[in-house]
Chain A
Amino acid sequence: MSLLEARGLVRHFGGLRAIDGVDFDLSAGEIHALIGPNGAGKSTLVGLLSGRIPAQAGTIRFDGRDITRLPAHVRVGCGIAYAFQITSVFPRLTTFDNVALAVQRTGARDLAAATGAALARVGLAGEAGQLAGTLSYGHQRLLEIAMGLALAPRLLILDEPTQGLATGEIESFMALVRSLVPEVTVLLIEHNMEVVMDLAQRITVLNAGRVLARGTPSAIQADRAVQAAYLGG
């Protein structure tokens, strides 16, 4: 079943055609990876989906509802959560407060318990009282994911989640993402091909603002156009 359907999305910045007529679908419960060379339009596309960037043309339907004109914070309420590319936690607030902000958005009764649980899920329960800005980089990334998860989303968009993580941390991150499906649908922008091939059930490849290819990991690996544009360099 399709959770999200985008049709004919367009976003230009001045003369730059960042996204130029993209159709994009997500099935409920899948892990879907979005890849492409730098400047292909990946971040713009998820920006359009999450509502951070308004679309100039096209429609986005989420769970059957047209969300094209909805502002970002309303889309979060619909169940689309976005975890930032560059860690964007609140550095001067405690880890607890960071996650509590997300938890309370869901209307949780017992905020402390629910926040504790969300922190425990990413293994940050011990750092609840620390200022987020003092956490290690890896922990800040985990916190970012914890905030996304705490929104209890139906679609979680992860923008380059493994960037800067150590190998061990990547392992536990992948385990975490796997544990989310099928309750949560995950859209992953990722440069680390090992992670992509290992995690994703389907992959969409963007190039120069257009969809170059889509399919299973093995199909993408075999696609010549993709190899030409991207994998092969």
Chain B
Amino acid sequence: MRMLALHLAVLAGVAALQFVLPAYHHTNAARILVLATYAIGFNIAFGYTGLLSLGHALFFAGGMYATGLLVDQGGWQPWAALLAGPAAGGVLAAGVGLLALRTAGPAFMIVTLMFAQAFHLAILYWGRFTGGDEGFTLSGAARRLGPFDLADPATRYGAAFLLFAAAMLGCLALVRSRTGRVLIAVRENEERTRMLGYDPFRAKLLALVLSGLLSGAAGATYGLMFGYVGGSFAAIQYSILPLIWVLLGGAGTVLGPLLGTALLFYLIDWASSVTTASQFVVGAVLILLVLFAPRGLLGLLRERGLRSLP
């Protein structure tokens, strides 16, 4: 109960922020919320189920391109196209999972990485449709969901908030559910879980599909919100970013992804405003953070007393 209250309070705080934030941080917050949704998706696979994928950009960009292409070239309604994003993420994750989940550990990392790389190259190769590395912009009409115009800052924040709130509460419900317990058990000891009558393959596939679904939803929303779909979102960098966000915030925590995403976002923002050698600062802070909190910030909190933190 106390934990539910804590999470609801965080959500309320995030919702209230939009009224006090100045314009720049207002947009940043909307970005962070969508990227944090992506991180939550990654965390379901990595933090809770122990699946370290290096190919999640496939699901993020897959959702972004599905929505973007359907609305831009397929003539779909933005609403319908937006729904195609998570669907694409989920279907891609199911396809990748069926093959990649035959492997584990480093081999799983490489297999997922390879599928994502192939997708990235395909986006560049079929540039006639995808715009290649340049990508394409989405028109104003493509970004209007019925009466809601995603180009409007308040609407955009609202959309980002709804997506994030749904993802976070969904994640909270999942990890406190019976299914969530099985996922965690698979992470902790796959063989033992099998001997309790669960099929680890099915559990991992489920986790990966949910993860892909959220990643795809985040990618689709990001594309519509900021009017741009591009190949750089499919690059390896976007597979590594959620890993950093989740590890910084705390893998296997519900709030960790948000914390980690916001932290890295503002770390880069702040570093580039104090020095031209900003990567130096970012690198140093990452190292200090990990020395101080090897299991992420919320992981540290969990070790220091808040043991029931989900």
The short answer to whether A and B are in direct contact, CB under 8 Å, is: yes
B185 touches A104 (CB 8 A): no
Interface string of B198-219 (1 = CB under 8 A from A): 1110000000000000000000
User: In the complex the two chains form, what is the Cα distance from A77 to B188 in whole Å?
Assistant: 21
A90 with B185, Cβ < 8 A, contacts A73-B199, A76-B197, A151-B197 known = yes
Whether A50 pairs with B196 at a CB distance below 8 angstroms is no
Indicate whether A102 reaches chain B with its CB closer than 8 angstroms: yes
Q: Does B181 contact A (CB under 8 A)?
A: yes
| A192 interface hit (Cβ, 8 Å) | no
Q: Are B196 and A101 in touch, CB under 8 angstroms?
A: yes
Which residue of B is nearest A83, CB measured? B195
User: Does A165 reach chain B (CB closer than 8 Å)?
Assistant: no
Instruction: Kindly state the interface size class of chain A when it binds its partner.
Output: 20 to 34
> Separation in Å of the B234 CB from the closest CB of chain A?
35
The contact of B194 among A73, A92, A93, by CB within 8 Å, is: A73
A69 to B182, CA, bound (A): 24
Q: Does A205 contact B (CB under 8 A)?
A: no
- Which of B182, B191, B199, B200 is within 8 Å of A101, CB to CB? B182
Residue A97 lies at the interface, judged by CB distance under 8 Å to chain B: yes
Taking CB atoms, residues of chain A closer than 8 Å to B200 are 73
Cβ-neighbour of A104 out of B178, B184, B192, B199 (below 8 A)? B178
Q: Are B181 and A147 in contact (CB under 8 A)?
A: no
Q: How far is the CB of A94 from chain B (nearest CB, A)?
A: 9
Contact A151 B199 (CB under 8 A): no
**Number of interface residues, chain B, beta carbon within 8 A:** 17
Contact between A101 and B193, CB atoms less than 8 A apart? yes
A192 CA to B181 CA, complexed, in Å: 36
- A72 interfacial by beta-carbon distance below 8 Å: yes
Q: Are B199 and A100 in contact (CB under 8 A)?
A: no
In the complex, A92→B181 CA distance in Å? Answer: 12
Chain B residues closer than 8 Å to A101, beta-carbon distance: 181-182, 185, 193, 196, 198
When chains A and B are docked, how far (Å) is the Cα of A71 from the Cα of B193?
Answer: 13
Assess whether A73 is in contact with B185, with CB atoms less than 8 Å apart.
no
Known: A90-B185, A93-B185, A101-B185. A77 touches B192 (CB 8 A): no
CA distance A111 to B176 in the complex (A): 12
Q: Please, what's the 1-or-0 string for A68-90, where 1 marks a CB less than 8 Å from any CB in chain B?
A: 00011110110001101000111
Indicate with 1 or 0, residue by residue over A159-188, a CB within 8 angstroms of chain B CB atoms.
Answer: 000000000000000000000000000000
The residue that A88 contacts in the complex, of B181, B182, B189, with Cβ under 8 A, is B189
B195 in complex: contacting residue of A82, A91, A97, CB < 8 Å: A82
Prevailing SS type, chain B contact patch: helix
A121 at the binding interface (Cβ < 8 Å): no
Whole-angstrom CA separation of A84 from B191 in the bound complex: 11
Q: How far is the CA of A198 from the CA of B24 in the complex (A)?
A: 77
**A73–B189 touching, CB < 8 Å:** no
Complexed CA–CA distance, A104 and B198 (Å):
11
- Chain B residues near A111 (CB, 8 Å)? 178
Task: Check if A105 sits within 8 Å of B188, measured CB to CB.
Answer: no
B197 touches A100 (CB 8 A): no
- Measured in the bound complex, the distance between the Cα atoms of B177 and A104 in whole Å is 10
| Interface residue A214 (Cβ < 8 Å from any Cβ of B) | no
A100 to B195, CA, bound (A): 14
Min CB gap B169→A, angstroms? 21
A28 shortest CB reach to chain B, Å: 20
Q: How far is the CA of A73 from the CA of B199 in the complex (A)?
A: 6
Asked whether B181 lies within 8 Å of A100 as measured between CB atoms, the reply is yes
Which residues in window 144-192 of B have CB below 8 A to A? 178, 181-182, 184-185, 188-189, 191-192
For B189, B194, B196, B198, the residue with the greatest tally of chain A CB atoms inside 10 Å of its CB is: B196
Chain A residue numbers with a CB within 8 Å of B195 are 50, 52, 72-73, 76, 81-82, 84
Nearest Cβ on chain A to B201's Cβ, whole angstroms: 9
B184 and A93: CB pair below 8 A?
A: yes
B residues less than 8 Å from A81 (CB atoms): 195
* Cβ-closest chain A residue relative to B193: A101
Q: Smallest Cβ distance from B251 to chain A, in angstroms?
A: 13
A71 proximity list for chain B (CB < 8 A): 194, 199
Give complex CA distance A88, B199 in Å: 18
Chain A residues, Cβ within 8 Å of B185: 90, 93, 101
* Contact assessment for B197 and A90 in the assembled complex, using a CB-CB cutoff below 8 Å: no
CB-defined A-B contacts under 8 Å, sample of 8: A72-B194, A73-B196, A81-B195, A88-B189, A89-B192, A90-B185, A101-B182, A151-B196
A residues near B, CB below 8 A? 50, 52, 71-74, 76-77, 81-82, 84, 88-93, 97, 100-102, 104-105, 111, 147, 151
Known: A50-B195, A101-B193, A101-B196. 11 other contacts (CB 8 A): A52-B194, A73-B196, A84-B195, A89-B192, A90-B188, A90-B189, A93-B188, A97-B184, A104-B178, A105-B196, A151-B197
